[in-house]
Amino acid sequence: MGILQKEKDLLKAMDRQGYEKMFDSRDDALDFITDCFSSLVDYQNVVINQVVMTPIYYQRFEGEELRDRVQSLDEKRRSIHDKTIGKVAQLNRICDKYHVPHIAEIDTSDRYAVADFVGQFCYEMYEAGMTHRNIDISEKKVTMDDLMSLRGDRRDAYDKTAVKDFVHEK
């Protein structure tokens, strides 16, 4: 079972069993879940930034300035990694409370396992975004290809009126 499906199952279980099982309100629960998943994205972005910026820093700076810049990138990565480890562990504890499979079926005390999980999460979310291009409008499935056909080959050329007219024509 993929991470996205596990998230959906957790949210359904929370809705059925009651958010108050662990939280003060529905909004508190959903805000917390959002924060946990956002930390995965934040960690990925910091890692990517470090990978992209390190060679640039080596070309741009020298000596103490270079060391400080690279060290700053590393400190940011370590800090967000620590936060992410905690958030993944919290997500798994919530899954336990609601009797659903863990979001991350890993040892959350293993820094490398958490880093690998974030990579898997980001890959799955990217794939889901690229392969599930369906959006549901008025209970009708409209694909991105349908929307692009409204104005030819340009993805950004459609407007809301054209989409609304198109959906109601089918």
Distance (Å, whole) CA 160 – CA 123: 30
Kindly state whether residues 85 and 138 are assigned to the same domain: no
Q: How many independent structural domains does the chain possess?
A: 2
Residues in the chain: 170
Tens of pLDDT, residues 110-136: 999 999 999 999 999 888 887 764 444
Which range of residues forms the domain containing residue 143? 133-170
pLDDT tier at 145 (50, 70, 90 boundaries)?
low
Same domain assignment for residues 113 and 144: no
Check whether residue 7 and residue 85 sit in a common domain. yes
CA distances from 121 to 40, 45, 103, 118, 160 (A): 8, 13, 10, 5, 32
Check whether residue 106 and residue 146 sit in a common domain. no
Maximum distance among all Cα pairs of the chain, rounded to whole angstroms: 65
* Structure confidence by residue, pLDDT tens digits, 22-59: 999 999 999 999 999 999 999 999 999 999 999 999 99
The reply to whether 38 and 112 lie within a common domain is yes
Q: Mean pLDDT, to the nearest integer, of 153-159?
A: 43
70 lies in the same domain as 127: yes
pTM (whole model) above 0.85: no
Tell me phi and psi for residue 135, to 5 degrees. -120, 145
pLDDT, mean of residues 159-166:
48
Are 37 and 110 in a shared domain?
yes
Q: Calculate the average pLDDT of the chain.
A: 84
Give CA–CA dist 113/102, Å, rounded: 14
Q: Which amino acid is at 115?
A: A
Residues 25 and 51 in one domain: yes
